Structure 1
Amino acid sequence: MKITYRILFLFLVISQFLSCIKSKEENVIKKIAIKKATDKSEVNLINSKIDNFSFPVDSTLKVKILEPETFHNDEVDPNLDRKIWFGLFKIKDNYTLAETKVTIKHAHDAIIDESEDEQTGWNISVATKDTCVVLIEKLAYLNNRDISSIRLPESIYPGDNFKFSFEGIEYVLSATGDKKGSDWIEVSNYKLYLTSKVNGKEITDLLVAQKSFDDQMIKIIFAGDIDGDSKLDLIIDTSCHYNLSRPTLYFSKTAEKGKIIKPMGVFSYVGC
């Protein structure tokens, strides 16, 4: 009987040991997979498995946005050149919004294509590419005009609060989460908020939520009035991975009643 118990106990110890090894191996595999991922859908799949919560959710953002550059085959719908587009252009420190012709053509993908003759990628081009910040599909409230803007810190870290005024309205950008390190700050459980007053009542809207980051941080690309209502709009890179870019468009005009701002569109693509 004692021998039987000893054998059973030994079996349980070995099983737990092997289970621990397997768990550690799976974590290592996940990390390696992210670093080696070169496909947008692959990166998104890995992120969705690792992070149980993120905001905003790409699938809920219906406004199409693009950037003038060359991308992998699965990152661009070539039929989008049939839409009417407005470009947000930066000339020195000034911004303008203007209707522009967008051309999408096959191009050499330096990462995927094995020879110079192959052209599996897509190139998005406009007449003034070098000054184009983002392309936004035509919406009823977009028109050709100069855009008022404000310079904001590129990143807001957990514990930071940045107060500013835009078009006579007071705002606060703030962030929560965990951070550690000095030369390189590692952030987790991150949430970025925008606070302002609506009809005299203070409102705080969630802009971004990410569980963890891999050599990346949330970055504010643009802040100003794109939709023409004299209130703050934003373009934020909401990516949590160093090889993934995710410029995300936020408009104040479309915010629900009692809210400040609403995420409207996103364009996700990988760097290599």
Structure 2
Amino acid sequence: MFSAALAATMSVDATALQPLGTFHGNSAVARDGEAWLALRLDGDDAALVATKVQVRKITEGDEEETEVAATVPDAMMLVRGKGLAEGAVPVAPIADSNAAEHALPLGERRFDVRTVCVDDGERGGQLRVKCEVRLQEGAKQQVLLRMDGYREAANPAPVIADEKAPKLLFAGDLDRDGALDLIMDTASRSNVSKPTLYLSSKAGEGELVGEAATNETTGC
């Protein structure tokens, strides 16, 4: 039986994303020789560039790893799907990927991504918090992600997730419809990467974006 991730590679219309690098096991969605789009960043400029994927299996003893590379240099991520095409991509510059708040201007529009936490009682000697990552444009906002965290007595700033906080990797207009799209690492474990693609063209009623694809891998 095929997994959902593998099935997504069967159609070029299915939206998918693939991190680059070396990962434990056989977690790659991409297959060797497939055509994808490489997202390249150069300062405040970005582009989607056609590329062939190079996937190589590495076996050392009982350990199996998968190496994923692109023929395009300096690619940060591979994406594909209906509505994604080669060419320049408008960018909303990210000052600090790890920040809890991001002001993201895109043309004449302004978006904000912020993490909001509220106290949730004390457990195990820690003051626990519940947090939300919210995307906002004007009076309209949407919760992208919910997670737990905690506060330390010596530092009132919340620690989001027990091991790893969400990280904003890219903000811009990938589907070129004039609205903001995001790629965010939503993993909560330190050795796991889970880039998640949010596209405005996938937004449902009352939403700014919709979750279009995600890919969870364990690093080496």
Same fold? TM cut 0.5: yes
Q: Deviations over 1:12-35 (max 9, x none)?
A: xxxxxxxxxxxxxxxxxxxxxxxx
Any idea what SS the aligned residue of 1:217 has?
coil
Residue deviations 1:66-112 (CA, integer Å, cap 9, x gap): 1221222231256x34643111012344211012111212125xxxx
CA shift for structure 1 position 174: 2.6
Gaps of 5+ in 1: 1-57, 180-185
Per the alignment, residue 131 of structure 2 pairs with: 190
Cα distance change, pair 188–75 in 1 and its aligned pair in 2 (3 A): farther
- TM-score, reference length from structure 1: 0.62
AA aligned opposite 1:193: R
Q: 1:126 aligns with which of 55, 58, 70?
A: 70
Amino acid at match of 1:247: P
Please list, as runs of the form range in 1=range in 2, the aligned pairs for 1:153-168 lying within 5 A after superposition. Answer: 153-157=96-100, 162-168=102-108
| Deviations, residues 7-60 of structure 1 (Å, cap 9, x unaligned) | xxxxxxxxxxxxxxxxxxxxxxxxxxxxxxxxxxxxxxxxxxxxxxxxxxx9xx
1:97 matches 2:48: yes
> How many Å apart are 1:163 and its aligned residue?
4.2
| Corresponding residue for residue 260 of structure 1 | 208
Alpha carbons of 1:125 and 1:174: their partners in 2 closer, same or farther (altered >3 Å)?
closer
Q: Secondary structure at the match of 2:26?
A: helix
Match of 1:175 in 2: 115
Deviations 1:213-255 (CA, angstroms, capped at 9, x unpaired): 2331111111111111121111111111111111111101111
Unaligned runs of 5+ in 2: 9-13, 120-126, 150-160
Determine if the alignment matches structure 1 residue 75 to structure 2 residue 23.
Answer: no
Pick aligned residue for 2:89 from 140, 144, 147: 147
Higher Rg: 1
Cα separation, 1, equivalents of 2:128 and 2:164? 9
Alpha-carbon separation, structure 2, partners of 1:219 and 1:163: 14
1:63 aligns with 2:15: yes
How many residue pairs match? The answer is 190
State whether residues 248 and 266 of structure 1, in contact with CA within 8 Å, keep that contact through their aligned partners in structure 2: yes
- Mapped partners of 2:183, 2:140: distance in 1: 20
Show the counterpart of 1:218.
Answer: 166
Distance in 2 (alpha carbons) for counterparts of 1:238 and 1:231: 21
Q: Comparing both structures, which one devotes a greater share of its residues to strand?
A: 2
Residue 76 of structure 1 aligns to which amino acid in structure 2?
A
Query: 2:26 touches 2:64 (CA, 8 Å); kept in 1?
Result: no
What is the distance in 1 between the residues matched to 2:37 and 2:147?
30
Q: CA deviation at 1:257?
A: 3.0
Corresponding residue number in structure 1 for 2:156: none
